Structure 1
Amino acid sequence: MKTFSLLSSLSMAAAAIVSPPTNAFNQLPNGYTLGNITWKGNVTNDGPEVSFTGPSFRDIEAQIFQMNPSFTWPEQNTTGLSDFPEKSLGHLTCDLANFYWAKKFRIDDGINYLKGKTGRCYIEAGPKVCSRISCSFHSAIFWCNDNDTPLWIDCGLWSQYAQNIVDACTIDDPSQEVKGQQFDTDNWNIIVGYSEC
């Protein structure tokens, strides 16, 4: 019985170490808040551009498919930042205070989901306003605006910036966890880390 109690106590202590703190749930770092995102693009071959707004890109995509159930994202053969020669990366940090880790393989899934997304994406004026553009199994990718004006960018940039974070910030141990923030010189950024979803 004493052996069982000791093992039980050790298990609970280990769970406390690896579990995210309660205040990590749905919390962005450094005072960032969640806002809406708008997508603008074509949903039919010969139709005009349309726009949809929602709290996440999954919500946007649901609206697109509601309008055109046979819609497909175009195939993209290239996935590098060389496709966006006008862009200039800012600094990257893996040290996000008060922000918890995500599982790398789940973030990889999110990056693959975002690859090939075309169109222009809009985020509300900041500073420090974000939209959750991908999230599954508590592992999220956020797009954040630090400008005091709204912002339009090419949606295809998201996956590239998130990949930079994965490449630079993944813990090199069996946990394979990742968190980080990649900035752009136009005063916006991508954040990767924990979120309750």
Structure 2
Amino acid sequence: MLFISNAALFLAYLAPLAAQAAALNPFSGYTIVAPKWRIELSPGQFEIFNGTMEEAIAQAKAINPEFEVATEKRDVIMDRDLVRRSNVICGNQPSNALKSRIQQNIAELRTRPRNALAYLGARECTRLICTSGSANHWCNDNSQSFAVSWGDIADSIQHGINSCAATIDWFTAHNFQDGGWNTLSRGDDC
């Protein structure tokens, strides 16, 4: 009986440590992959490409020489326009990101082609962009492949800034979106 109560105490002691370890490694349980792109080569014809955006576009043009990038420049939107169901966790990462760098990353994401969606397989994560030690990651929490627009990813990251860095310059934000995906802004080696 004493053994059982000591074991229960030990497990109770370990529970907060396990939660802390999960916070420090938000990618536990995911496969880390290079960015993937779901590109519409022609109306209704989609292909998945790996690598940088430039490499994916080159691969698309190799298959369809008439492929054109469809761009959509969007202005920064207000937080009230980001009303989506999400849960943002501020802090809780080992290294902070600089807000101005993350805002640069968001601006870059907003220039991505609208006919090239971000694509991940089940339980995969990728680092989308990293500028001067400040990175943005995207993860698919679903048990099947998932594609989302770059604008939606940028909106999720912006919502993290609005929630966690309204009055500070250094922050981390982990935004869990309804639909089974999340974005993470944090410090990282670039």
Name 2:174's counterpart in structure 1: 181
Q: Distance in 2 between matches of 1:151 and 1:110?
A: 22
Give runs of aligned pairs for residues 115-134 of structure 1, distance below 5 A: 115-117=110-112, 118=114, 119-126=116-123, 129-134=124-129
Q: Distance in 1 between matches of 2:170 and 2:77?
A: 23
Distance 1:67 1:33, change over 3 A: closer
Q: Distance in 2 between matches of 1:79 and 1:49?
A: 29
1:76 is displaced (CA, Å) by 2.9
Name 1:163's counterpart in structure 2: 158
Query: Could you say what secondary structure the match of 2:157 adopts?
Result: helix
Matched, 1:103 2:98: yes
In structure 1, stretches of 5+ residues that fail to align are: 1-26
Is the 8 Å Cα contact of residues 130 and 142 (structure 1) preserved in structure 2? Answer: yes
Percentage of identical aligned residues? 23
How far does the alpha carbon of each residue in 1:108-136 deviate from its partner, in whole angstroms, 9 at most, with x for none?
1100000142232210211xx31111112
User: What is the one-letter code of the residue matched to 2:142?
Assistant: N
TM-score (normalised: structure 2) = 0.68
The alignment's C-alpha RMSD in Å is: 3.3
Q: Distance in 2 between matches of 1:171 and 1:80?
A: 15
How far does the alpha carbon of each residue in 1:136-177 deviate from its partner, in whole angstroms, 9 at most, with x for none?
21111110111222212223211111111111212735xx11
Is the 8 Å Cα contact of residues 37 and 124 (structure 1) preserved in structure 2? Answer: no
Q: Distance in 1 between matches of 2:139 and 2:44?
A: 30
**1:154 pairs with one of 143, 149, 154:** 149
**1:137 pairs with one of 129, 132, 137:** 132
Is the 8 Å Cα contact of residues 171 and 177 (structure 1) preserved in structure 2? Answer: no
Q: Distance in 2 between matches of 1:81 and 1:148?
A: 32
User: What is the one-letter code of the residue matched to 1:35?
Assistant: V
TM-score (normalised: structure 1) = 0.66
Distance 1:81 1:121, change over 3 A: farther
Query: Could you say what secondary structure the match of 1:158 adopts?
Result: helix
Residue-pair matches, total: 159
